[in-house]
Amino acid sequence: MEFATFFVHQREQAVWAWDLAQRNLEFLRGIDVRYFLHIAEMEGQLLETESNRYAAASIRVAYGQGLETLFALISAAIQAPACVVGWMLAYRNDELEETVKAIASTAGRSTSDASRAYQSLDSFAGSVIAASQRGSESAGR
């Protein structure tokens, strides 16, 4: 049995599962980034037609979804790196907004785990990029 404890903004959470690490990986691998590209390609073609208002609205909705997903994944990575799937399933929009404000204003120090504090969002981004490059290098071996 695996478990993880974390905060969703300031709300404590605990998750138990037999295969929590595997579920976390499956969730992250299941995020299809091509969805947003598909929306842009399909709706972009409609911008020059009589359906341009609907296409523009669809693109704006997808843009909002993309921003929410990005900021939710950043928040989950900072507050619940061992259980991103749990964080993503537990957050509410008001908590996401407050978490993002806290991360931006205090560079992550008000999240739940001081050991994962970042000096800035740039340093957080740098650590994510470095980790992905290490993963790419080890995958190529």
- Output the pLDDT for position 114: 39
- Output the pLDDT for position 139: 64
- Output the pLDDT for position 84: 95
Distance, CA of 76 to chain centre: 6
Dihedral pair phi/psi, residue 14, rounded to 5°: -140, 135
Helix %, strand %, coil % of the chain (to 5) = 65, 10, 25
- Output the pLDDT for position 39: 94
> Which sequence spans correspond to the domains of the chain?
2-139
The DSSP element (H or E) to which 103 belongs, if any, is helix 93-106
- Output the pLDDT for position 15: 93
pTM of the predicted structure, to 2 decimals: 0.79
Strands of 1-141 (E only): list them.
Answer: 2-8, 11-17
- Output the pLDDT for position 141: 58
- Output the pLDDT for position 108: 45
- Taking only the tens of pLDDT, the chain with its 141 residues reads 898 999 999 999 999 999 999 999 999 999 998 999 999 999 999 999 999 999 999 999 999 999 999 999 999 999 999 999 999 999 999 999 999 988 888 654 544 443 355 556 777 778 778 877 887 776 665
- Output the pLDDT for position 110: 42
